[in-house]
Amino acid sequence: MEILKHRLVDCGAEHLVCAKNTRKLSGPDMIILHYTAGVNAQSSARFLARPEVKASAHLVIGRQGEIIQLVPFDVEAWHAGRSFYAGRANLNRYSIGIELDNLGRLEWTAGRFVAECGKEVEAGQVFVDDSGEIATFWHQYTEQQKRVLREVCDLLKAHYPIRYIVGHSDVTNRKQDPGPELYGFMCR
pLDDT at residue 26, as a whole number: 82
- Is residue 71 a part of any domain in this protein? yes
How are beta strands 136-139 and 105-109 bridged, if at all?
antiparallel
Residues 112 and 157 in one domain: no
- Is residue 20 a part of any domain in this protein? no
Residues 11 and 76 in one domain: yes
CB atoms within 10 A of CB 100: 27
pLDDT at residue 188, as a whole number: 53
Residues 155 and 174 in one domain: yes
Whole-model pTM? 0.96
DSSP 8-state class, residue 122? -
| Helix/strand/coil for 112 | strand
Residues 92 and 174 in one domain: yes
Range of the domain at 112: 105-140
Residues 86 and 164 in one domain: yes
Closest to 33 measured CA to CA, from 135, 143, 181, 155:
181
How are beta strands 59-61 and 67-69 bridged, if at all?
antiparallel
Residues 111 and 44 in one domain: no
- Is residue 173 a part of any domain in this protein? yes
pLDDT at residue 187, as a whole number: 61
* 121-130: Cβ within 8 A, 24+ apart: 127/179, 127/180, 127/181, 129/179, 129/180, 129/181
pLDDT at residue 184, as a whole number: 76
**8 Å CB contact between 123 and 60:** no
Cα distance between residue 18 and residue 45, in whole Å: 10
Cα distance between residue 102 and residue 145, in whole Å: 10
Q: Residue-wise pLDDT tens for the chain (188 aa)? A: 999 999 999 999 999 999 999 999 988 999 999 999 998 999 999 999 999 999 999 999 999 999 999 999 999 999 999 999 999 999 999 999 999 999 999 999 999 999 998 999 999 999 999 998 999 999 999 999 999 999 999 999 999 999 999 999 999 999 999 999 998 777 65
Cα distance between residue 102 and residue 33, in whole Å: 12
Cα distance between residue 91 and residue 79, in whole Å: 9
Domain total of the chain: 2
